[in-house]
Amino acid sequence: MQHWLEPDQGRDEEAHEHKAALRPSRSLRRVPLKIGLWAAVGLASGAGLFAMTPGEYSAETLLKVEGAGEITVANASSMLRSKANLDNLVRALNLNGETARPSAVRIVSDIVTGRENTVAKAESALRETLGKAIDFRYDEAASHARISATAADPAEAARIANLVGQTFRNELIRAQSEASQPIVEKLRQTLERAEAALSGYVEKVGQQKVGELRRRGRESSQRGAEIAAAEARAAELKAKIAQASALKLADVLAKPLPDALEYTGLDYQRQHYVEARLLVDQLSGSLGPRHPKLLAAQTALDEVRSGIQDALKRLVSSLRQQEAENNKLLADLKAKQKTDPQDKTAADAAARLQVLETAVREARENYLEAQQRAETQPTGPLAETEVIIPATAAAATRLGWTLEQMAGGGALAGVGLGAFFSMFGRRKHEDEVEAETSHAVEQEHEALAYPEPDEAADYAVEPAFYDDYVQEPQDDFDDDEDYQHSAAYRAYPAAANDVLLGDQIRDLLMANRRPATEALPPLVAAVSSGLHTAPTYAPRMSDEERQKAEELRRLRQHMADLRERVELHSASRMAGRR
């Protein structure tokens, strides 16, 4: 069969085959570029994340400590996180401005969430945060104290560290002076414990509740004092009534008056009686018993005696009236105390608060008295501290990951993602190529399914070819015995549609090869000898049939090439997966 292949069509097919062969290699060359792009994206993402992440900075100051023992330094360092020192730091740094004036968004958030965020709680949280941001380390061998502070801004961290250093110097001097006076130190500890107990109780109860408890405590104390005074007055009146009821005229005239009755008028009456008695005695010595002056003096004496008896009666009556009024007042106070609406829990809470406040007041008075006595006594040399390296914003170090670490981590993550997506894209491309090749093979199979030739037309073209054709009887393959004995049917192999045409021809020739010296079969030899003398018939084909035959030949050749590529591609994929 001759080949009618046009030059342009051949070049197009060769270019298409070359592109298909180069497609995987180009994909492999693009893998490093993709990985590099992903690495650049990861590097930029790490740098951007570093810029957007709010970092923390740590500033450190180094102090030289002289003239202080380890215990004194430990006591001074423990006082750095005390409530008073932390409050001083908050005021010095002006950190309580936002706490004192909450924003509208914060107020709305507290209302929505139902969270009670008072000023006391906010200050307590601020003190706790500031206490955690301070770190103190002491090297006894070198006598160096390192104070570091952590904050969101390097300048603020350096400022906190320097302020804590100043506080440490003050506390060191105070701790040394207190260490020289053990009594003062114990009293100070007692005062701190009392203040801590009072502060804890106030924080537990709340400022508003504490104010109410104090008011109730004052009212209860005042009422108790009034009741106690009324009871003391009742006892005093009762004693006076008993003494006044027991007095006689002779006792008033001859004996000294009791202390409780000195200022009741009896003393004046008795002095008046003494004067009248003296006048009667003087007149009776010089005048007769019937003398008018003597009689007048005796009458005056009798009136004074009668006045003293009336005064005793009036005194007892007045004391009883005072006792009745005092008893009524006492009964009213006790009744009011019983009808007070406060319950036992509130009364106990008020009593507890009063006890704690009294303990703090007494502890403070004792501590101040002991401190005043200690100031008059001589002390040893004070401890000295020297700043060797002050804390600065330039020397502050950023905590956490650095820019290089975050950028490197982002680049590594980008390389990993790039490699993953490159392998995923390559495998997806291979699957698409395989699917495209299989689809092309199926299309070529469909194109090869052309209709069978018309025997009548062939007979019309070459009538001499069918002149000697005789229809031979066929074996009946319905019978199993005849089917088993049909050796001719079993002699031919099955159709090898998945084998290339060149391989089929090669196998056919190798199966039927014969040595040159061997004689051919008689029929084959007769046919071979008559080939030269047999008439030949030139095929009569139109241009359209010739074009279809050429297209059929090209399709078969293309199908064979595609089949070979599919086999090579499948083999390479299997080898790669292994």
Q: For 479-517, how does the pLDDT look when each residue is reduced to its tens digit (9 = 90+)?
A: 444 444 445 545 555 566 666 777 788 888 888 777 767
CA dihedral 416, 420, 423, 427 (to 10 degrees): 180
- Exposure class string for 22-43: b at 16+ Cβ within 10 A, else e: eeeeeeeeebeebbeebbebbb
Match 């092309």 to its residue by tokens. Answer: 440
Q: Domain 57-180+379-398, what architecture?
A: 2-Layer Sandwich (3.30)
- Residue in 339, 329, 348 with CA at minimum distance from that of residue 217: 348
Instruction: Compute how many other C-beta atoms are within 10 angstroms of the C-beta atom of residue 564.
Output: 11
Structure token pair of residue 449: 């399914």
Q: What's the confidence (pLDDT) of residue 265? A: 61
Q: Tell me the pLDDT band of 295, cut-offs 50, 70 and 90.
A: confident
Best-predicted range by mean pLDDT among 216-220, 235-239, 285-289, 479-483? Answer: 235-239
Higher pLDDT, residue 524 or 505: 505
N- to C-terminal Cα separation, the chain: 45
This prediction has a pTM of: 0.34
Give whole-number Cα distances, 35 to 401, 409, 416, 428, in Å: 25, 15, 8, 17
Q: What's the confidence (pLDDT) of residue 165? A: 83
Give whole-number Cα distances, 340 to 73, 217, 352, 434, 560, in Å: 54, 13, 19, 97, 112
CA distance 498 to 501: 9
Average pLDDT over the chain reads: 70
CA distance 578 to 574: 6
- Residue in 373, 350, 81, 356 with CA at minimum distance from that of residue 191: 356
18 pLDDT above the threshold of 50: no
pLDDT digits (tens, 9 = 90+) for 346-364: 677 777 878 888 888 898 8
What are the residue ranges of helices labelled H in 104-181?
Answer: 104-113, 119-132, 154-179
Give whole-number Cα distances, 231 to 142, 221, 240, 323, 333, in Å: 71, 15, 14, 10, 11
Q: What angle do the packed helices 266-286 and 292-338 form, to 10 degrees?
A: 170
pLDDT above 70 coverage of the chain, percent: 56
Compute the radius of gyration of the chain from its Cα atoms: 63
- Residue in 158, 133, 156, 150 with CA at minimum distance from that of residue 398: 150
pLDDT, mean of residues 290-299? 76
Element (H, E) at 466: none
Reported in sequence order, the residue ranges of 229-286 that DSSP labels E, i.e. its strands, are: none
Element (H, E) at 455: helix 455-461
Largest separation between any pair of C-alpha atoms in the chain? 223
- One-letter amino acid at 246 equals A
pLDDT digits (tens, 9 = 90+) for 492-502: 555 666 667 77
Best-predicted range by mean pLDDT among 83-97, 189-203, 457-471? Answer: 189-203
Residue spans of the domains in the chain: they are 57-180+379-398, 235-343
Element (H, E) at 489: helix 487-491
Q: Give Cα 343 to chain centroid, integer Å.
A: 42
